[in-house]
A = this chain, B = another copy of it.
Amino acid sequence: MTDEIVVIEGDGIGREVVPAAVEVLDALDPDFEFVRGDAGDATRDATGEALPDETYDLVADADATLFGAAGETAADVILPLREAVDSFVNVRPAKALPGVDALRPETDVVFLRENTEGVYAGHEDRLSEDLSTLTRVVTSSASRELAEYACDFVEDGRGPAGDPEEGFTVAHKANVMRETDGRFRDEVAAVADERGVDADEELMDAFATKLPLDPGQYGVIVCPNLAGDVLSDLAAGLVGGLGLLPSANIGHDNALFEPVHGTAPDIAGEGVANPTAAVLSAAMLLEYLGHVEAGQRVRDGVEGVLSDGPRTGDLGGSATTDEVTAAIVDRL
């Protein structure tokens, strides 16, 4: 059966890098049916809604979605879309790529970020003229589901080391958020224990100090939602920026893939955006849909072009998005 892929370009360079990623997918065997969806600032300006119901429904009913970026409406778009695919984990690899100037080239980590709760559960109240509150939510069920995924991930050798023995690290702030992050940590540790997977732990502040000092000591990192947001962005800074990093929002029977970068308004519309992050997101999509070998071909193509192919301006070159994309397709 042909898998149905919703494609949402969004705003800014999303309109350049998503077509590039689709071109790469098109050049491969898997026979996908692409359906276009709209979302983002331009959609809001045109329709009054950053994320129209039609788009939400399309995404919810698809096999997978490839999303670009949204401008100031980013949170209004991406948070509901994560819900539309029923995503419980945000997978964020951060690895230094060949030919890219990285502060810590030895960085090779994957964050598995809880994707439904924490401060993102979003219960906020304005209780008085002076006081607002937010209810941070942690459940054992979501923590355990994430932990089961992390154990599968590690056992399948999908961690950077490829070695199940490496286990994972849980990053949290249970010394202050004793009940909520305590629950998270305890449940994740309990699942790891049941599954016989090695899990050590680190306070998230200590982790933020140690990652730049010695990234080589980490592989798979399991964290609550906001911790995963911030710590994975920190790792991005160590490998040269957000520009090259893909991510996956994995659900039970659906998933959404997106570059970690934003809309890059400074270069949008000029056809010079680096398509790497979107193309690597497409590689994650391929792997998710079972086309593991095709995903690997895409990764090899991207790394080959980064090593000795045309480069966009962010990497010191002067190639266009189209030239880089064509070079990747050539190597498939």
Q: Give the interface of A toward B (CB within 8 A).
A: 74-75, 79, 103-104, 119-120, 122, 124-126, 129-141, 173, 175-180, 182-183, 204-206, 208-213, 226, 229-231, 233-234, 236-238, 240-242
Contact = CB atoms under 8 A, between A and B. Distances in A.
B208 A233 contact: yes
Given A230-B208, A241-B209, A134 B75 contact: no
How many copies of this kind of chain does the complex include?
A: 2
Contact of A133 (B74, B173, B180, B210): B180
Given A205-B229, A230-B205, A133 B135 contact: yes
A212 B212 contact: yes
A213 B241 contact: yes
A237 B234 CA distance: 11
A103 B214 CA distance: 10
Nearest to A183: B132
A137 B204 CA distance: 20
Contact of A237 (B137, B204, B210, B240): B210
A119 B237 contact: no
A312 B134 CA distance: 45
Given A139-B130, A237-B212, A75 B175 contact: yes
Contacts of A137: 131-133
A241 to B, nearest CB: 6
Given A137-B133, A213-B237, A177 B124 contact: yes
16 contacts: A79-B176, A103-B103, A119-B136, A119-B177, A122-B176, A131-B140, A134-B135, A134-B177, A173-B229, A176-B226, A205-B230, A208-B231, A209-B242, A210-B237, A212-B212, A213-B241
B119 A176 contact: yes
Nearest to A73: B175
B130 A141 contact: yes
B212 A238 contact: yes
Contacts of A183: 126, 132
B140 A129 contact: yes
A141 B130 CA distance: 7
A234 B141 CA distance: 31
Contact of A233 (B104, B205, B226): B205
A74 B175 contact: yes
A208 B237 contact: yes
Nearest to A184: B132
Contacts of A131: 137-140
Contacts of A236: 209
A307 to B, nearest CB: 22
A226 to B, nearest CB: 7
